[in-house]
């Protein structure tokens, strides 16, 4: 782990972002429009954190202690005052210290959490990966049928089916589990452990 002594902007949301995950955003609050413009100008990432208590709008919410840095990959502002973005999660972090600015934005000093190690696939990994590929292919096929050339895959390319952490993260995003459960999975520091929990869920629900 390494520490970042600079203050990074936080975006508290009712969602859990995983490394390698795609997060589309529709932003209209002035404070966050200003934050995003500054991030784009300085090429600085921002942190997405699950709201522990509070709301997405209004007074600053209390965030969970572990979140995920994200970078903006696409953006558009067809309507004045409304920014549409496509962002992608990069690295997990733990909040060391946080502060609330005068406009109720959150900033934090963070400790980065090491990325999941890429390990040799085992039977559990291969089962989860092959089923995930079927799910992603089905989503993409239905999306292209419904939206044609305008379809944007909800998954970042290229896929990494040989990476246990990546496979676990994608399952954590699409399984019908609570936000609290997703947060607990995000906080696990071992990608293979995360995948093992996902595997048990898939077995219990007859998905594999």
- Reported as a single tens digit per residue, the pLDDT across 165-186 is 999 999 999 999 999 999 999 9
Residue 25: pLDDT band with limits 50, 70, 90: very high
Q: CATH number for the domain including 81? A: 2.30.130.40
pLDDT over threshold 50, residue 1:
no
Alpha helix stretches (DSSP H) within the chain: 30-42, 123-147, 164-174, 179-187, 191-204
pLDDT band, very low/low/confident/very high, at 4 (cuts 50, 70, 90): low
- CATH number of the domain bearing residue 164: 1.10.4060.10
d(CA 205, CA 143): 25
Interatomic CA distance for residues 36 and 11, integer angstroms: 10
Q: Are residues 97 and 159 in the same domain?
A: no
Q: How many domains does the chain have?
A: 2
Q: What is the mean pLDDT of the chain?
A: 92
**Same domain as 64, residue 150:** no
Over residues 103-158, the pLDDT tens digits come to 999 999 999 999 988 877 789 899 999 999 999 999 999 999 999 988 989 999 89
User: Do residues 171 and 128 touch, judged by C-beta distance below 8 A?
Assistant: yes
pTM of the predicted model, to two decimals?
0.91
């Amino acid at each position: 782990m390494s520490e970042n002594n600079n203050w990074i902007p936080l975006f508290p949301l009712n969602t859990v972002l995983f490394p390698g995950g795609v997060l589309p955003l529709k932003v209209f609050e002035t404070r966050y429009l200003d934050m995003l413009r500054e991030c784009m100008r300085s090429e600085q990432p921002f942190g997405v954190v699950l709201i522990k208590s509070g709301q997405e709008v209004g007074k600053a919410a209390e965030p969970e202690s572990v979140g995920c840095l994200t970078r903006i990959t696409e953006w558009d502002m067809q309507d004045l005052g409304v920014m549409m973005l496509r962002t992608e999660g990069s690295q997990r972090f733990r909040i060391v210290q946080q502060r609330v600015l005068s406009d109720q934005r959150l900033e934090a000093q963070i400790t980065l959490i090491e990325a999941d190690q890429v390990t040799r696939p085992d039977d559990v990994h291969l089962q989860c990966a092959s089923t995930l590929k079927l799910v992603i292919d089905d989503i993409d096929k239905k999306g292209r049928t419904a939206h044609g050339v305008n379809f944007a895959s909800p998954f970042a390319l290229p896929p990494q089916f040989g990476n246990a952490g990546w496979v676990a993260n994608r399952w954590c995003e699409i399984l019908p589990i609570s936000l609290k459960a997703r947060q607990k999975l995000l906080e696990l520091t071992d990608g293979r452990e995360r995948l093992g929990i996902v595997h048990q869920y898939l077995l219990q629900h007859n998905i594999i």
